[in-house]
Amino acid sequence: MTTAIQSAVNTATSSATTNTAKNTLGKDSFMKMMIAQLQNQDPLNPMDGTAFVAQLAQFTSLEQLQNLNDVMSALPDYLNNFSNAQMANLIGSEATAAGNVLNVTGSTTKISYQLPSDIQSGTVKIFNSNGALVDTVRIGSQKTGLQSTTWNSSSQSPGNYTYEVSAVDRSGAEVTVNKMISGQITGVSFKDGKSYLTINGQQVAFTDVATINKTTI
């Protein structure tokens, strides 16, 4: 009997050793040890019922903890897949994000930018796809935060343009303006665990998005 129990213990120990990184005894090894105890117990001195119930309770707890660990290990992948699926629902929405691409489709084009502080005046320069300056827009006093101006683009061909913004405050000091793009989300892509939205033909990291507004039909 002792040899059989020792054999079961050795088998369980060997199985547990393969899982050293977790430093835990697996539920299969635990069950083997319990079965070995039952098969090789002394008939004249059987295992105490209370002790056996306690071992069953330990086994149940071990199994539940291992199952919980398996679920928790899979949770990040599940959340990531769920997040990616939700991202697809943003297609068709209007968004404002970091960038400097303008998509000209009509007689007027909205130009957005983020002001870190109030400005007294500023200038917006618009360039075509070849980098040539095609127009200049003057802007007046504006408050800190997300702002915009409207560009009369009626004389320009449809397509993508870029722009630069310069501004000064009341004291004449230059204010660094953060350029933003506004447009419809036409696509969603995923790379290296990050989500990207396509706005005006430009891929923008989701973390760089300032606002999203669902288009109503």
pLDDT per position in the chain (217 positions), as tens? Answer: 444 444 544 554 454 444 444 445 555 666 676 667 666 665 655 555 556 556 666 666 766 776 667 666 665 554 555 565 677 788 888 888 888 889 898 999 999 999 999 999 999 999 999 999 999 999 999 999 999 999 999 999 999 999 999 999 999 999 999 999 888 888 888 887 788 888 888 888 888 888 888 765 5
Neighbouring residues of 183: CB distance < 8 A, sequence distance ≥ 6: 94, 95, 103, 199, 200
Sign of the dihedral through C-alpha 91, 93, 97, 99: positive
Distance (Å, whole) CA 31 – CA 58: 10
pTM of the shown model: 0.54
Q: Identify whether residues 202 and 162 lie together within a single domain.
A: yes
Q: Identify whether residues 72 and 142 lie together within a single domain.
A: no
Q: Identify whether residues 104 and 191 lie together within a single domain.
A: yes
Domain housing 133: 94-213
Give the count of domains, the chain: 2
Q: Identify whether residues 114 and 150 lie together within a single domain.
A: yes
Q: Identify whether residues 119 and 190 lie together within a single domain.
A: yes
- The whole-number pLDDT of residue 57 equals 66
- For 46-193, list the strands marked E by DSSP: 94-98, 101-104, 108-115, 121-127, 133-139, 145-152, 159-168, 174-175, 178-191
On whether the CB atoms of residues 149 and 139 are closer than 8 A, the answer is: yes
Q: Identify whether residues 67 and 166 lie together within a single domain.
A: no
